[in-house]
Amino acid sequence: MNRRAFLASSIAAGSTLSVGLSPVAAQSGSNAAKFKLRYAPDLGCFRAHVGGDPIENIRFAADQGFRAMFDNGLMGKPADQQEKIAAEMAQRDMKLGPFVLYPNFGDSDLMVGKKESIDAFLGRVKEGLETCKRTGCAWMLVVPGKVDQRLEVEYQTANLVDVMGRACEIVEKSGVVIVLEPLNRHDHPGQFLYGIPQTFQVCRAVNHPCCKIVNDLYHQQISEGNLIPNIDRAWSEIAAFHIGDNPGRREPGTGEINYKNVFAHIHRKGYDGVLCCEHGKSKGGKDGEIAFIEAYRWADSFQA
């Protein structure tokens, strides 16, 4: 039976998929078994079940066995809401995955060394650090921008390395890590960072524990494939993961990535960080949310 059929039959039967209670049982007040890895739904993932309130989503996710959450837009939330989210997460011993600090898809300013833009970026780093202090989040995500067609890539790489070194000096006392995200060129043409080997090179050149990689497995399946060998080769510089199957960027089991094998490999390496579920759902409403949970139960059912 293929993965997709297995998931469908499990959902229809309301099965427990090897471990834990079904989502319906957990919703009624029982706690499902904790996942082996810290898969992190977003703070609005279960709105069909509990609405859009982040606190209710945290509670519902915890009852399903999830041990982490993430919110790309965390930095834009009011400070008092950030503090409530942090308190709820701490109470349930859950980790908060990287939020987006600097999503630059439009220019090459950091790579060409434009002073005003670099100063603005470093100011943004300081603002993001305040969000980390309020929430206990340990990672801030950066997409540095586009490649400049008029300047050699080597110069652009050196400029980015310099900028990231300065950013690391700002956060180093806090221990917060800035994670660089390479994006595939099919969905995001023209972005400077597009692959794990290239981003690994940048992090090694920065040579600072506060500059690492977020390995988005959806993007990297498109860019280069070879997921497990690239995880191994870049392991020293990987601080977090993003998840999404390809094609479609939906839950594990809906595409070509063998997430059960990938997760088993990451688990064997002793990883206890966050894997953000940065993807859509294959179905709408409550059925889609149940399918989401069951997909992770299937993918997490590897032998520890």
> What confidence tier does 178 reach under pLDDT thresholds 50, 70, 90?
very high
| Closest of 188, 192, 295 to residue 243, by C-alpha | 295
Tens of pLDDT, residues 31-85? 689 999 999 999 999 999 999 999 999 999 999 999 999 999 999 999 999 999 9
Residue appearing with tokens 């900028």: 163
Q: Are 35 and 293 in contact (CB under 8 A)?
A: no
CATH number for the domain running over 3-299: 3.20.20.150
Q: What is the pTM of this model?
A: 0.91
Give the residue among 102, 70, 5, 47 at the shortest CA–CA distance from 279: 70
pLDDT of residue 21: 52
Q: Could you tell me whether strands 95-96 and 99-103 are parallel, antiparallel, or unpaired per DSSP bridges?
A: unpaired
Dist CA 46 CA 37 (whole Å): 19
C-alpha separations of 32 from 21, 27, 220, 291 in Å: 5, 9, 31, 15
Q: What does the domain layout of the chain look like in residue ranges?
A: 3-299
CA 150 distance to own-chain centroid: 32
